[in-house]
Amino acid sequence: MGGVIIFFILATIRAIIIAASPIIGMVRDNPEIFNGPNRIEDETEFLFLLAEQTSDFQRSDVKGLSAEESQSTAVLALLQRAGPQAIGCLLLWLTGAICYLVFFHTLWAQIQDDPTVRFSPAVIVALHFVPVGIGIVGGMLATVSPAIILLANFASLIAWYVILFITYWKLADHMEKYHQRQGIAGHQVSSGLALAFCIMQVAAIIPFLGGLVALAGFVVWFIVVFQLKNSANDIINHKMKLEQTGNPPVRSHFEIQN
């Protein structure tokens, strides 16, 4: 899990630097753009200044072009400059995402001998790609109707929330019951806290208060993640002790009936 945190933090810092550096330079070289009689209210002018700050873009390049063509030329210049930098940020993010999926694949793998668990580690990993797939399909069909992309984004968000509840809350609930049934003494994860984290993620979309809720949820996320990790370690150690002593794991009432 340390890899997830490190790579996501590095990707975030790099993204902030990529986005903030040209804006800071633009404001430094043009302090009048936000106030005074020369205040710039035209977004095209703002885009031109940003393109001039970050690339070889010149206003003479778009002389005689329409407003849309001028904006497209400035955006293209920005992308050509920021593209290589953004690739590094994307690679860091992808590495963090891979570590994240490996982490939860490992956690779910520890409780597969519980007959009440309905999700395999591979299914949990595959579910995380569902919102991405919905977004891609929505983008491909956006030319048919603008409403499709809105519906796709909404469906993708709902899918992500459902997966979030499964990944954290159901996992915590399974681990909590696994500890109780097997009589494992050690670190136990709180399914209630995991549920609270998931609810906080949903509530983070609330205007104004969402930022505070997201910040509180980030703190709770740390606690839940380390509870899950410690609980999984205790389960692994418990299974190793049973293998060494030759004792079978405790069977649940469900297993006895079947």
Model pLDDT for residues 228-252, shown as the tens digit of each residue: 999 999 999 988 888 887 665 555 4
Q: Is the pTM of this model over 0.85?
A: no
Assess contact for 179 and 234: CB atoms under 8 A: yes
Residue ranges per structural domain of the chain:
1-109, 120-258
pLDDT for the residue numbered 21: 58
**Average pLDDT along the chain:** 78
pLDDT for the residue numbered 73: 75
pLDDT for the residue numbered 256: 40
What is the DSSP secondary-structure string of 83-104? HHHHHHHHHHHHHHHHHHHHHH
DSSP conformation class of 167: I
pLDDT for the residue numbered 17: 61
pLDDT for the residue numbered 184: 85
Confidence band for 67, pLDDT divided at 50, 70 and 90? low
Residue with the larger pLDDT of the pair 133 and 87: 133
Closest CA to 172 of 113, 104, 238, 218: 104
Q: How far apart are alpha carbons 176 and 188 in whole angstroms?
A: 6
Confidence band for 44, pLDDT divided at 50, 70 and 90? low
Angle (nearest 5°) at CA 180 between 231 and 229? 5
Confidence band for 37, pLDDT divided at 50, 70 and 90? very low
pLDDT for the residue numbered 39: 43
Question: Of all helices (H) and strands (E), which one includes residue 44?
Answer: helix 43-54
